Amino acid sequence: GDPFKDTSGPAMNILLKVMTIVSLVFASAFV
């Protein structure tokens, strides 16, 4: 179907995972 819809889903999931990992790394670094 729509290429933007097909790519926006997985891209958002990857972005959320990256942001979660980055936040965990920063949290462990500050603690």
The number of folded domains in the chain is: 1
How much is the pLDDT for 26?
A: 93
The alpha carbon of residue 3 and the mean position of all alpha carbons in its chain are separated, in whole angstroms, by: 20
pLDDT at 25: 95
pLDDT value, residue 3:
67
What is the model's pLDDT at position 1? 57
Structure tokens at 25: 């790394």
Read off the amino acid at residue 8.
S
Segments of the chain scoring below 70 in pLDDT: 1, 3-8
Whole domain around residue 29: which residue ranges? 1-31
